[in-house]
Structure 1
Amino acid sequence: MSIRDRLPKKSPPKAETKHDPLWVVEGTPSTKALYQAVNLEYNRLSEIIKSGNAANPKDRKLVLANIAKIAGRDRSLINVRRQPELCDYIDRLNEELEKLTDLHKGKPNKSKQLTKRELEREVGILKRREKSNSEAELRAIVEAFFASHLLDDINKQALEVHKLRQENEELIDRVTRLQKQNRQLSSEIAILHDLLTPAQRAKMGGLRTVERSKNDE
Structure 2
Amino acid sequence: MVIRLSDFKKETTQQAEELPSWVRTDTIKKLYLAAIDIHMKIKADIENKKDLSPRERQIAFRAVALKCNMSPSILHPRRQPELVHYIDELNQSLTHTLTSTQAKTHSSGRKLTKDELIKENRLLKEEISRLSNITLADSFNQAIENLLIQESRQAALNIKNLRQKIRELEEIISTQAEQNRRYMDLVSTKVDPS
Q: TM-score range by the shorter chain?
A: 0.3 to 0.5
- Ranked by relative contact order (alpha carbons within 8 Å, sequence separation 6 or more), the top structure is 2
Bigger radius of gyration, 1 or 2?
1
